[in-house]
């Protein structure tokens, strides 16, 4: 077969399996090394926060690696192939998000010396239950992260689907259980290098095939892939400058500023300065990542501009495009396709391990410690390890549930916006109005209902092509074109499924359900805050629901003194800083 003209591709070779298995074992080895290295200190603080002794560079790389799930590795190039370079504008959102997080949220979380982000605001048990339910939803997202790339790679490379799924979960369980957060962070550093190497391999091979990077760029220009800046203010258009910069900044802010898996990393740094630097270093990592991922997609378009594998029937879904290209162009180099698969699974391992560690931290700090106050450090250590095993297998189970869902990648792209938006609104209410418990809870519930309504509606009735703006593709250069028996009014919104005809769509389908998925988070945040403020105004200020703003400090400090810890987060010099910060917040 000639590259770029369609048809079947090669399967994995022995050397590809060797490279893939070696990468997985390398990740597990880092966890074992960290376990042996830290065997003398098995405290909860060491397990969940790395003893708060991490530095900016590895934490920055870990933050970036956690962002790069297997869905990102496979999905972003497919996005650039189908829609052009619009996605690169997210680089602006990453910068805005990182600056706000570093200057506003990091000082608050770091100086309070917390382990769980939910300790910032001690709501009643009812609110903690709601937050626990949200964490279960993030566990489902983790299941999607495991399943989606595994399915794509299985259908292209022939790797056993459930064998790899279970192996992924077991490896994450191993190094999360034995090494804690340090193992997760240093494994992320290793996986970050593998992921970037995978992108570089794809781009380098594409440049050789096409005769240089200039030829790739020219092909994309001729194909309309380089027109990134669309300043149309229409909120129904999938990607414009405003949806990405405004909606994208809020969406990523909700992930980096309050999401446990991200916060847990930067509060593990030894000083506040190091914590801030990790966020600024993360900007560089995100820029490099999104640039390589987008250019990989442009490289893919240059190769397949005359024979689209999806339209030609060579792949069954758009998320299989990059794996298809890898096996098409790199199969002649034993081990290189294995490197790419390792890159995709490195993203999966990073995200899963982050989720496991974060779920353990929240469960221990918000549900177990408040009930069992006399636990020893050894008992807490065993609980941490036991919960790591439990949540690891829970994520595998969630992958099985995810396998029953349709449009898995589209659901994964939207779920953070639907869940994180209302949660960000709840945090904003908790900071601005410490007494507004009833309003906050009502706002959270209403925000979740609204975002789930529009999000699920968008899954059932995806926006039509005039809102998603798919770019033209061709099959004129294919060696063969299969007879595909399906309707594609919106060819890039659903894969190999019948798209509902306009007459079958309800009135809300082309308005409410067509809202850009990037705005889901902003919508949830605004609804939660507005409803929370209205309910609080109606019910009046009720201080019986508020917690003493110094209670977190006193509680954490008392625990540290009781355990004889000299945690840097609770040095006397920081008490005044923390108290002043809390006083400022409560007076706003």
Residue-wise pLDDT for 147-168, tens only, equals 766 766 676 667 677 777 777 6
Strand partners of residue 54 = 269
Which has the higher per-residue pLDDT, 515 or 5? 515
User: For residue 48, what pLDDT is reported?
Assistant: 65
**Confidence at residue 482, expressed as pLDDT on a 0 to 100 scale:** 52
* CATH code that applies to domain 14-409: 1.20.1730.10
Res. 466: pLDDT tops 60: yes
> What percentage of the chain reaches a pLDDT higher than 70?
69
Return the pLDDT at 124: 40
pLDDT in tens, 328-354: 888 888 888 888 787 777 767 667 777
Give the mean pLDDT of the chain: 74
Give the pTM.
0.79
- The contacts of residue 255 (CB under 8 Å, 6+ apart) are 67, 262, 416, 420
Q: Which residue has the higher pLDDT, 290 or 148?
A: 290
Q: What is the pLDDT of residue 310?
A: 86
- State the pLDDT at residue 423: 82
Tens digit of each residue's pLDDT (9 = 90 or more) over 182-192: 777 777 788 78
Express each pLDDT in 188-205 by its tens digit.
Answer: 788 788 888 889 989 999
Torsion angle in degrees (nearest 10) through CA of 175, 68, 76, 332:
-50
Q: List the one residue out of 9, 20, 107, 5 whose CA is nearest residue 349.
A: 20
Question: For 364-407, where are the alpha helices, taking DSSP H only?
Answer: 377-402
pLDDT band at 491 (very low <50, low <70, confident <90, very high): very low
- Residue 519 pLDDT level (bands cut at 50, 70, 90): very high
Q: Report the pLDDT value the prediction gives residue 136, as an integer from 0 to 100.
A: 56
Residue 523 has pLDDT above 70, yes or no: yes
Cross-strand partners of 269: 54
pLDDT score recorded for residue 570 = 38
Closest CA to 487 of 466, 508, 519, 465: 465
Residue 310 CB neighbour total at 10 angstroms: 26
Lowest mean pLDDT among 56-65, 252-261, 317-326, 502-511: 502-511
Question: Please, where in the chain does CATH 1.20.1730.10 lie?
Answer: 14-409
If one compares 396 and 285, the residue with the highest pLDDT of the two is 285
Which residues, in sequence order, are bridge partners of residue 403?
none
Question: Which range, 361-375, 424-438, 502-516, is most confident?
Answer: 502-516
Q: Given a cut of 80, is residue 422 above it in pLDDT? A: yes
Distance CA 310, CA 321 (A): 7
What's the whole-number mean pLDDT along residues 525-554?
A: 66
5-32 burial code (b ≥16 CB/10 A, e <16): bbeebeebbeebeebbeebbeebbebbe
Q: Can you say how many angstroms the Cα of residue 299 is from the centroid of all Cα atoms in its chain? A: 24
Is 50 exceeded by the pLDDT of residue 180?
A: yes
Please state the rounded mean pLDDT for residues 468-477: 82
Residue 269 DSSP SS3: strand
Predicted pLDDT at 503: 54
More confident: 439 or 454 = 454
Highest mean pLDDT: which range of 230-244, 494-508, 540-554? 230-244
User: In the structure, what pLDDT confidence band is assigned to residue 299 with cuts at 50, 70 and 90?
Assistant: very high
Model confidence at 565: pLDDT above 60? no
Helix axes 272-304, 321-330, angle to 10 degrees: 70
Q: How confident is the model at residue 527 (pLDDT cuts 50, 70, 90)?
A: very high
What DSSP string describes 310-348? TTTTSSSSGGGHHHHHHHHHHTTSTTHHHHHHHHHHHHH
Across the range 97-111, mean pLDDT stands at 86
pLDDT given at position 203: 93
Kindly tell me if the per-residue pLDDT of 42 is higher than 90. no
| Residue 363 in this model has a pLDDT that exceeds 50 | yes
pLDDT at 301 over 90: yes
* Better-predicted residue by pLDDT, 330 or 181: 330
State residue 485's pLDDT score: 39
**Separation CA 534–CA 431 (nearest Å):** 16
């Amino acid at each position: 077969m000639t590259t770029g003209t369609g048809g079947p591709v090669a399967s994995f070779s022995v050397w590809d399996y060797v490279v893939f298995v070696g990468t997985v074992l390398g990740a597990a080895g880092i966890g074992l090394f960290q376990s042996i290295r830290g065997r003398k200190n098995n405290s909860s603080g060491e397990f969940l926060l790395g003893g708060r002794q991490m530095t900016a560079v590895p934490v920055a790389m870990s933050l970036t690696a956690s962002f790069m799930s297997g869905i990102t590795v496979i999905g972003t190039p497919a996005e650039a192939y189908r829609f052009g370079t619009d996605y690169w504008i997210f680089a602006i959102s990453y910068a805005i998000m990182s600056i706000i997080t570093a200057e506003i949220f990091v000082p608050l979380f770091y100086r309070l010396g917390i382990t769980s982000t939910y300790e910032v605001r001690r709501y009643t048990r009812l609110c903690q239950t709601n937050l626990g339910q949200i964490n279960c939803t993030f566990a489902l997202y983790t299941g999607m992260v495991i399943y989606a790339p595994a399915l794509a790679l299985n259908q292209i490379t022939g790797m056993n689907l459930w064998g790899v799924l279970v192996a992924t979960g077991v490896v994450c369980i191993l190094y999360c259980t034995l090494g804690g957060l340090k193992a997760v962070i240093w494994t992320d550093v290793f996986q970050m290098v593998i992921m970037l190497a995978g992108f570089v391999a794809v781009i380098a091979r594409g440049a050789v095939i096409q005769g240089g990077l200039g030829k790739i760029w020219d092909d994309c220009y001729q194909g309309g892939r380089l027109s990134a800046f669309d300043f149309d203010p229409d909120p129904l258009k999938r990607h414009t400058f405003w949806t990405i910069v405004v909606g994208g900044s809020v969406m990523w802010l909700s992930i980096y500023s309050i999401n446990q898996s991200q916060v847990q990393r930067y509060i593990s740094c030894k000083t506040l300065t190091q914590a801030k630097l990790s966020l600024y270093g993360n900007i560089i990592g995100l820029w490099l990542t999104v640039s390589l991922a987008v250019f990989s997609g442009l490289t893919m378009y240059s190769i397949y501009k005359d024979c689209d594998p999806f339209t030609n029937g060579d792949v069954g879904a758009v998320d299989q495009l990059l794996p298809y290209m890898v096996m098409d162009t790199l199969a002649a180099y034993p081990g290189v396709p294995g490197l790419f698969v390792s890159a995709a699974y490195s993203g999966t391992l990073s995200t899963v391990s982050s989720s496991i560690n974060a779920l353990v931290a929240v469960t221990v700090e918000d549900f177990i410690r408040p009930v069992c106050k006399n636990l020893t450090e050894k008992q807490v250590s065993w609980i941490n390890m036991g919960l790591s095993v439990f949540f690891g297998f829970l994520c595998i189970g969630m992958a099985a549930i995810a396998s029953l869902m349709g449009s898995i990648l589209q659901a994964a792209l939207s779920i953070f916006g639907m869940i994180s938006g209302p949660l960000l609104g709840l945090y904003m209410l908790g900071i601005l109005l410490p007494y507004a418990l009833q309003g906050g809870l009502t706002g959270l519930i209403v925000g979740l209902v609204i975002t789930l309504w529009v999000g699920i509606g968008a899954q059932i009735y995806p926006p039509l092509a005039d809102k998603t703006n798919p770019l033209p593709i061709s099959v004129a250069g294919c060696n063969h074109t299969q007879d595909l028996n399906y309707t594609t009014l919106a060819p890039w919104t659903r894969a190999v499924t019948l798209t509902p005809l306009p007459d079958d769509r309800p009135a809300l389908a082309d308005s409410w359900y067509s809202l850009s998925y990037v705005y889901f988070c902003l919508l949830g945040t605004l609804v939660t805050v507005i409803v929370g403020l209205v309910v609080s105004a109606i019910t009046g200020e009720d201080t019986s629901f508020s917690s003493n703003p110094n209670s977190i400090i006193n509680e954490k400090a008392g625990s540290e003194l009781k355990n004889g810890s000299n945690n840097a987060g609770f040095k006397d010099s920081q008490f005044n800083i923390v108290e002043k910060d809390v006083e400022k917040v409560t007076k706003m």
